Structure 1
Amino acid sequence: MLTRKVENRMEAWLSAPKRTALLITGARQTGKTYIIRYFARKHYEHVAELNFIENPELVSIFSKPRDVENLLMRLELAVDVPLVPGRTLVFFDEVQQCKEMVTAVKFLVDDGRFDYMLSGSLLGVELEDMRSVPVGYLSELDMYPLDFEEFCWSQGVGGNVFDMLRGCLAGRKPVDGFVHDRLMDLYAKYLVIGGMPAAVDSFVANGSISDVRTIQENIKREYRRDISQYAKREDRLHIRGIYDLVPSELNNPNKRFTFAKVDKGLRFQTVAADFDWLKAAGVAIAAYNVDEPCVPLEMSKERNLFKFFYNDVGLLTGSFLKKTALDVLDGNPDVNYGSIYENAVAQELHAHGFDLYYYNSKRFGELDFLVQDRNDRVLPIEVKSGKSYKRHHAMDNVLARPEYHLGTGLVFGPCNVSVEGVVTYLPIYMAGLVENA
């Protein structure tokens, strides 16, 4: 059983004074169904699970609900477990196949006899045009691949280690040398295995990288099938082309996505919706270029200039030759870790609530990432993979400009914690500890 942070938020939902239905969203294969089943067994005497893909006849049963009594009658006829008020969880899985269920859950919550959880993939795509959302009746949690901390838990690392790391980060103190070396070794494993639960489970069970790579390729095949099934027919080839080009585009020096690689002479306006589809499906992450590195970042972003990342660094590394993956695992210094490190940092920041931007200026250079926290502070971030991690001209340039009001910057790399002037150097494994305060 993999321990997931989302379980704490599910516990908070369960103990809230006003109960809502709980919708767990996220890309396919991130562990949504598994965590709901585990949570349900832990907290409920009876669990009624309805899967709209495995049992497509359920779609017609629940697609035209009339009122709560009619809904409950249909529910009783559709399940084979007792529905006991106050002791039963009803779990609607793969609800993207029955969008009406998401709106109808309002009536069931109002009735109050049972608790309800919903889950599904591609909800950002399939529910985009939904006519009404049951505001006040539906709580939503996003689920992502395992972050590095969760991965370390799967490898037997206790929570006290990350408590110590948070203390080192807050106090800007170096991590103990032995702990640092151990975590760098684990991070190399994480870069290859990634955070998809099936891949992590497989590695925990037998330690086989070959099995992990097979699982990763199967997940990507499933994503491609989703494109074929759910995307508009006229967009499918472009969307698949974009998804398959991500690894090679990240290996370009500036990592910016080139539209002409998808189709010769292609303009951004033609494929803008295709990039949005991959983001909405949760299988890709975008970082947009901004005109100026200052608040509000969203106002100065350029829609047609961006970097595109996979939602899981293991899927990226799994796209490379097996020898490259093994070299990463062994910490071979000859490997170009730039795109791998950057994808891993993008994944961590995105999963911890940050919208991602970057800054590229002929005058000042390029900053790998800019993030803006809830207090409207902008933080410039550089990701370095080699020994020259203290060379960061772009960051020095923008930090020296008082009109940007940046104050401080972060550099993630193969280093320990240290501070020089207004720049803090952090080990690459600390990327997930940056708080969106």
Structure 2
Amino acid sequence: MLRRKIEAELERWHNAPRRTALLVTGARQIGKTYSIRRFAAQHYEHVAELNFIENPELATLFSTPRDAKNILMRLELVANTPLVPGKTLIFFDEVQQCKEVVTAIKFLVDDGRFDYALSGSLLGVELEDIRSVPVGYMSELDMYPLDFEEFCWSQNIGDEVFDMLRECISRQQSIDEFIHRRLMELYYTYLVIGGMPAAVESFVLNGSVADARTIQENIKREYRRDIGQYARKEDRLHIRSIYDLVPSELNNPNKRFTFSKIDKKLRFKALASDFDWLVGAGVAIAAYNVDEPCTPLEMSKERNLFKLFYNDVGLLTGSFLRKTALDVLNGNPDINYGSIYENAVAQELTSRGFKLYYYNSKKFGELDFLVQDRNDNVLPIEVKSGKSYKRHHAIDNVLAQSDYHLNMGYVFGVCNVSREGQVLYAPVYTVGLLENQ
């Protein structure tokens, strides 16, 4: 039984003074259905679950406009439990198969007798209208694979360890060396196992990396099947090619995606929607190049220059040879961790609500990531996999430009916590503690 951070978010939704319907979004196989079921079992006497993939005929309940009374009467006929006002959660799963349920939610929430949760995959590409429900009727939670802290929970690492890490980062003081070494060992394990719940749970139960890799490959097969089922027929081949090229493209020196490897005759404009499909489906993460490392980053984004990452670092490492995965697991210093570290950092930052950018200039060098917090502070980030982590010309160059108004740069790597001038050094496993304030 894996502990997830979304549990606290579900509690906040449940305890809100005015209840809305709840929509949990995210890619397949990240634990959405499991988390809702577990929460529902703890907080409701009755749970009516309706899955639109397992029972596609349920979509007919919402096929024509009906009022709440009519819909609820029909739901009573198909529910697997009594619908008791004030004690029942009605859970609509795989809602990408039933677009009409979104329209009905407003009326059902207004009726007020029951609570409602919705979940689905590919909502960013298949159900864009699900985000058009009037404010006040539906709350939305984005869910991701397990981050490193959640993975550590599965390895019996308690909250006090990460509380200590937060204090060390806040005070800019070093972490106890024994704890630092132990967490780096766990981080190497996380880079191989990743954050897909099925892979983590399998590893917790039997300690088998081989079993986890089999699960990872099955998840990627399912993602490819989704492309075949949900993407437009004329786009499927390109989307699959893009997805399969991510590991090799991240191994390029600049890690920027090269369009010619997909189809030499096509320009980016013809492929843009294919990249968007993968990001919208939640199976890939994009970081876009910007003209300048200053606020607002979105204004200087270059749409056709970007890096593409997998939504889970374990899926990336699972694409490599078994020997490479074993070397990563053992922390072999001869391995180039660059692409693996960057994928893990992209995954952590995305789960914290950051939009990802990067900066590449012939004059100043390349910054691996740029993010902007809610106070509009731009945070330049470099990810270092080797011992030469104090060589960071790009950060030094941009911090020296007063016009950019950058207060601090961050270097994440194998190092301990320290600060020199405007640069904060921190272990790569602490990137998830970077607050989107």
TM over 0.5: yes
Tell me which residue corresponds to 2:37.
Answer: 37
1:341 is matched with: 341
CA contact 1:409–1:422 (8 Å) conserved in 2: yes
CA drift of 1:63 comes to: 2.5
What is the match of residue 114 of structure 2?
A: 114
1:407 has 2:394 as partner: no
Residue identity matched to 1:324: T
Deviation at 1:128, TM superposition (A): 1.8
CA distances 1:36-68 after superposition (whole Å, capped 9, x unpaired): 000000000000000000011111232224111
Instruction: Decide which moves more: 124-133 or 354-363.
Output: 124-133
Any idea what SS the aligned residue of 1:419 has? strand
Q: How far has the Cα of 1:266 moved from its partner? A: 2.2
Separation in 2, partners of 1:244, 1:262: 10
Amino acid across the alignment from 1:111: D
Alpha-carbon separation, structure 2, partners of 1:306 and 1:431: 21
Question: Quick check: 1:239 aligned with 2:215?
Answer: no
**Percent identity (aligned):** 78
**What SS does structure 2 have at the residue aligned with 1:13?**
helix
Q: Is the 8 A contact 2:61 2:71 kept in 1?
A: no
Deviations along 1:202-247, one digit per CA (max 9) or x if unpaired, are: 0000000110000000000000010000001111011100000000
What is residue 286 of structure 1 aligned with on the other side? 286
Alpha-carbon shift at residue 132 of structure 1 (Å): 4.4
State the partner residue of 2:365: 365
SS at match of 2:128: coil
2:166 maps to which residue?
166
Deviations 1:334-374, CA, capped at 9 Å, x for gaps = 11100000000000001001000000001111000000000
> Cα deviations across residues 294-320 of structure 1 (Å, max 9, x unaligned)?
000000000000000000000000000
Contact 1:378 1:406 in 2 (8 A): yes
The CA distance in 2 between the partners of 1:29 and 1:102, in whole Å, is 23
| Structure 1 contact 103–132 (Cα < 8 Å) conserved | no
What is the alpha-carbon distance in structure 2 between the residues aligned to residue 131 and residue 272 of structure 1?
A: 22
Name 2:59's counterpart in structure 1: 59
CA distance in 1, matches of 2:227, 2:297: 31
* TM-score normalised to structure 1 length: 0.99
**Equivalent residue for 1:375?**
375
- Give the drift of 1:129: 4.8
For 1:54-93, what aligned pairs fall within 5 Å after superposition? 54-93=54-93
1:134 matched to 2:134: yes
Match runs of 1:2-401 below 5 Å: 2-129=2-129, 132-401=132-401
Cα distance in 2 between the residues matched to 1:108 and 1:346: 38
Letter in 2 for 1:74: R
Q: Which runs of 5+ in 2 are unaligned?
A: none
Deviates more, 1:61-70 or 1:147-156: 61-70
Whole-angstrom CA distance in 2 between matches of 1:242 and 1:100 = 32
Distance apart, 1:263 and its partner CA: 1.1
The CA deviation at 1:31 is 0.2
Structure 1 CA distance for aligned equivalents of residues 331 and 13 of structure 2: 42
SS at the partner of 1:233?
A: coil
1:119 match: secondary structure: strand
Q: Is the 8 A contact 1:384 1:413 kept in 2?
A: yes
Superposition deviation, residue 174 in structure 1: 0.4
Residue identity in the other structure for 1:127: L
The one-letter amino acid paired with 1:320 is: F
Is this contact kept in 2: 1:65–1:71, CA < 8 A? no
Q: Aligned to 1:335, what secondary structure does the other structure show?
A: coil
Q: Which amino acid aligns with 1:51?
A: N
Shift of 1:265: 2.8
Report Cα offsets for 1:144-173 as digits up to 9, x if no partner.
Answer: 000000000000000010000000000001
CA distance in 1 between partners of 2:33 and 2:157 (Å):
25
CA contact (8 A) 1:62 1:74 kept: no
Check 1:289–1:212 CA distance in 2 against 1; reply closer, same or farther (3 A cut). Answer: same
Is the CA contact (8 Å cut-off) linking 1:408 and 1:422 kept in structure 2?
yes
Letter in 2 for 1:96: Q
3-state SS of the aligned residue for 2:29? coil
Q: Secondary structure at the match of 2:69?
A: helix
Distance in 1, matches of 2:348 and 2:130, equals 30
| Distance across 1 between alignment mates of 2:429 and 2:63 | 46
CA distance in 2, matches of 1:161, 1:300: 39
Query: Cα offset for 1:420?
Result: 1.0
Q: Provide the secondary structure at the position in 1 that maps to 2:241.
A: helix
Contact 2:370 2:380 in 1 (8 A): yes
Residue pair 2:106, 2:133 contacting (<8 A) in 1 also: no
**Length-normalised TM-score, structure 2:** 0.99
SS in 1 for 2:306: strand
Give the Cα separation in 1 of the matches to 2:294 and 2:364.
14
CA distance in 2, matches of 1:175, 1:184: 12
2:277 is aligned with what amino acid? W
Letter in 2 for 1:384: K
CA distance in 2, matches of 1:131, 1:81: 29
CA–CA separation in structure 2 for the residues paired with 1:348 and 1:385: 16
Structure 1: distance between partners of 2:102 and 2:185: 44
Aligned residues: 437
Does the CA contact (< 8 Å) of 2:123 and 2:130 recur in 1? no
User: Which of 53-62 and 306-315 deviates more?
Assistant: 53-62
Instruction: Determine the C-alpha separation between the residues in 2 that align with 1:307 and 1:64.
Output: 43
